[in-house]
Amino acid sequence: MPQVTLTVNGKRHTVAVEGRTLLVEVLREKLGLTGTHIGCDTSQCGACVVHVNGDSVKSCTMLALQAEGAEVTTIEGLAKPDGTLHPMQEMFREHHALQCGYCTPGMVMSAIDLVAKHPEGLTEREIREGLDGNLCRCTGYHNIVKAVAAAWPLMHQKAMPAAAE
């Protein structure tokens, strides 16, 4: 059986996989990182979003073998060892940006990537469009958008530029 070596949340793993094994299956079933969820299984809902080499991707739409040598970050890799939450997680809690929580890991991973890649700031519309690949069936999105906007100043450690508000 082929093997894949990848680094997940800073820890290197070598795992035996089949050609058809998906990245999300390695994370959940081989490494026990069940924070990454499988929702639609048709590449539409975004519950399985993780970061691969710094980009948010749907881990249900990537073969494990395509991640050879990759740096992967999952929801479990965000909080500090002492339990301090990532600012995006903290703002999701603060703004009540989740109800059932099923979409939340993917939503948080997509949101962090979106904010990190927009140091010029984000409008509310840009946040909504940026989360296009993540479906939530509970919240109606409003509080998710608020949480992402609130996390922007914390992640960039400055106020959101006025033009972007």
Partner 1 sequence: MYDFTYHRPTSVADAVALLGSDVDAKALAGGQTFIPVLKQRLNKPSKVVDLAGLGLAGISLSGNALVIGATTRHAAVAGSADVRRAIPGLAALAGGIGDNQVRHRGTIGGSLANNDPAACYPSAVLALGATIITNKRRIAADDFFQGMFSTALEPGEIITSVSFPLPVEKSAYAKFNQPASRFALVGVFVAKGVAGVRVAVTGAGQNGVFRQTAMEAALTASWSPDAVAAIKTSAADLNGDIHGSAEYRAHLITVMAKRAIAAAG
Q: In what order do the strands lie in the sheet with 49-52?
A: 11-16, 3-8, 71-73, 49-52, 55-58
- When binding is defined by CB under 8 A, the residue of 7, 9, 34, 61 that contacts partner 1 is 61
Q: Say which DSSP state 33 is in.
A: -
C-beta separation of 17 from 81 below 8 A: no
From the CB of 82, what's the least distance to partner 1, in Å? 30
Contact window for partner 1 (CB under 8 A) among 65-73, 78-86, 137-145, 147-155: 65-73
Contact 92, 98 (CB under 8 A): yes
Rounded to 10°, the helix 142-156/87-94 angle is 140
Whether the CA torsion 99, 100, 101, 102 is positive or negative: it is negative
Among the residue ranges 86-94, 96-104, 127-135, 139-147, the one whose residues contact partner 1 (CB under 8 A):
127-135
Interacting span for partner 1 (CB under 8 A) from 49-57, 78-86, 97-105, 148-156: 49-57
Contact between 65 and partner 1 by CB under 8 A: the answer reads: yes
43 lines the binding site for partner 1 (CB under 8 A):
yes
In terms of phi and psi (left: phi > 0; alpha: psi -120 to 50; beta: otherwise), the region of 101 is left
DSSP 8-state code for residue 102: S
Does residue 20 interact with partner 1 by CB under 8 A?
Answer: yes
**113 touches partner 1 (CB under 8 A):** yes
Task: Verify binding: residue 28, partner 1, rule CB under 8 A.
Answer: no
Binding site residues, partner 1, CB under 8 A: 2, 18-20, 22, 41-44, 46, 49, 52, 55-58, 61-63, 65-66, 68, 110, 113-114, 130, 132-134
